Structure 1
């Protein structure tokens, strides 16, 4: 035990995964949820399952039972945040709910504790600026499940201090996460703006009859994802031209701009198209098979991470921290 404590508020899929992240980093973790049954019937069993899987697939040298022993169910929100150095909130994605929860967190948590939200899209300035000492509050948006995917996006509220960003960075680095810092607040942050933009254009392509939903998924898994699992879109372009990114843009920049103008990221898809896509993917994977498929997906994520860690791109230099 390090004697350092973190609270996870909201014990659903994201909150329970966060608990394992912090426990694997040596923190004592208190988990609380407004529905007590969520803790006993979902969160604690899931914590144990995740910890045991990670001990086998991504070992830190500790056995799973040691990690599990660091996590406890709190009896109240005040009990959860008592004496902690950081709070990670993962409650329902609803502004009024988050405001109410942070009102309570702000009153009960130590005055210098980091206050962080897992919100997927809501700007932190809408619910984090009224807490006591708001300069210590920020968004720390993970990718679900954070126990398996290391990215976390740090976004301030306009009053968040630079020292808060650095404290959060160090916290997540100690937990083997990979934080990125947004320089300005924007709805959806980075990952979801990229993800939802692509999905909206995919809906356009399917909705206008260019292809099927299965075709879109195949374009990603058998095409883009094979490169993007190791390098991002800018580095992909850099490697696709002998002259690097500059050469890529010189050759294909006009085409990129044309397709950008023609893309329908604002495509007005409706419930009929959404239902058609659902039926298409559900024929391949029935809804009652989703839990089993999620476990398979998580295993593939860990296998990809092991592949990523196995070697490094020849000639690649470490990026500047700023």
Structure 2
């Protein structure tokens, strides 16, 4: 059992705590606001019951997993003997630089220091550190205890050993790491998601489709395949001769479309009036919280289904 430090106890921090505690690690959670950390542990206690009901605790009891999560009042106490540190502070460059300076000074040399940032390149907040070779980004899709993919993004000076240790640590905890060769704005997942969102906004703004049409196309169309295989495997299986055959058959379709996709629509501009009105018609603002709980329970059911399907059909 390894010791893991969680720095910051918001949505991402408490989700990582669940994931690492479920994997058997001793998790110590610190937040500059002690009340926030205590509240996070209460939230975790409420989630673990649903996870157990869906057989997503690796056969462990709720109390066993919860018992591995400890709230500490001092950052140094959280970092003592930790082999992995997961930082989850706000998306602010100066905050990250300051927090990483403190973590680098207080943690032992054996600790990998990872940030959950979804937008900041690791080189921008680790360049000044003596231990910058052990720093990188591990960016999840929230919540990581239900969605296994996590991006491992090295800075130019991150050591190969740090990258490999992090990859192996995540795999052991049940994650599916995406190990980038070098840093890039948006990493992998936000660039893929961004490309899809750009087209979704454009289709609505130009009057070709409603918000619900676009959501239906993903929810009841593409996402059904994408829930268990990626775009390259999808096209590899969608032509008799595989991926090369697919490209020979269909590349012309996409080369024709691509020039039409180079114009940006301002997401916060006029189109937002249409999108927000359609979304609020389907889901009133006051029901957002309830729907988020519904989303997470659906994700739990999907995770349980995928686990069963992997066992039955293979990955």
Report the TM-score, using the length of structure 2 for normalisation: 0.94
The match for 2:17 among 3, 14, 19 is 19
Q: Which moved more, 1:273-282 or 1:237-246?
A: 273-282
Structure 2 residue 48 is matched with structure 1 residue 51: yes
Who is 2:281 aligned against?
A: 283
Who is 2:165 aligned against?
A: 167
Unaligned runs of 5+ in 2: none
Who is 2:202 aligned against?
A: 204
Q: Which moved more, 1:152-161 or 1:28-37?
A: 28-37
Who is 2:193 aligned against?
A: 195
1:49-198 mapped onto 2 (5 Å cutoff): 49-57=46-54, 58-198=56-196
| Shift >6 Å, 4+ stretches | 313-316
Q: Distance in 1 between matches of 2:299 and 2:87?
A: 24
Kindly indicate whether the alpha-carbon contact (under 8 Å) linking 2:37 and 2:71 is maintained by their aligned counterparts in 1. yes
Who is 2:231 aligned against?
A: 233
Q: Secondary structure at the match of 2:247?
A: helix
Residues 44 and 224 (structure 1), Cα distance of their counterparts in 2 relative to 1, 3 Å cut? same
Residues 94 and 274 (structure 1), Cα distance of their counterparts in 2 relative to 1, 3 Å cut? farther
By relative contact order (CA 8 Å, sep 6+), the higher-ranking structure is 2
Unaligned runs of 5+ in 1: none
Offset from partner CA, 1:38-71 (integer Å, 9 cap, x none): 1223x11111122222222113121011111111
Kindly indicate whether the alpha-carbon contact (under 8 Å) linking 1:93 and 1:119 is maintained by their aligned counterparts in 2. yes
Who is 2:300 aligned against?
A: 302
Offset from partner CA, 1:217-257 (integer Å, 9 cap, x none): 01101111111112111111111111111111101111112
Who is 1:29 aligned against?
A: 27
Residues 312 and 248 (structure 1), Cα distance of their counterparts in 2 relative to 1, 3 Å cut? farther
Residues 314 and 307 (structure 1), Cα distance of their counterparts in 2 relative to 1, 3 Å cut? closer
What is the deviation of 1:179?
Answer: 0.9
Kindly indicate whether the alpha-carbon contact (under 8 Å) linking 1:201 and 1:264 is maintained by their aligned counterparts in 2. no
Offset from partner CA, 1:6-53 (integer Å, 9 cap, x none): 111110111001001111111111111122221223x11111122222
RMSD over equivalenced CA pairs, Å = 1.9
Who is 1:220 aligned against?
A: 218
Kindly indicate whether the alpha-carbon contact (under 8 Å) linking 1:117 and 1:138 is maintained by their aligned counterparts in 2. yes
Q: Secondary structure at the match of 1:127?
A: helix
Offset from partner CA, 1:167-218 (integer Å, 9 cap, x none): 1012111211111101121111111110011111111111111111111101
Kindly indicate whether the alpha-carbon contact (under 8 Å) linking 1:50 and 1:147 is maintained by their aligned counterparts in 2. no
Residues 61 and 82 (structure 1), Cα distance of their counterparts in 2 relative to 1, 3 Å cut? same
Kindly indicate whether the alpha-carbon contact (under 8 Å) linking 2:6 and 2:30 is maintained by their aligned counterparts in 1. yes
Kindly indicate whether the alpha-carbon contact (under 8 Å) linking 2:112 and 2:135 is maintained by their aligned counterparts in 1. yes
Report the TM-score, using the length of structure 1 for normalisation: 0.92
What is the deviation of 1:76?
Answer: 2.1
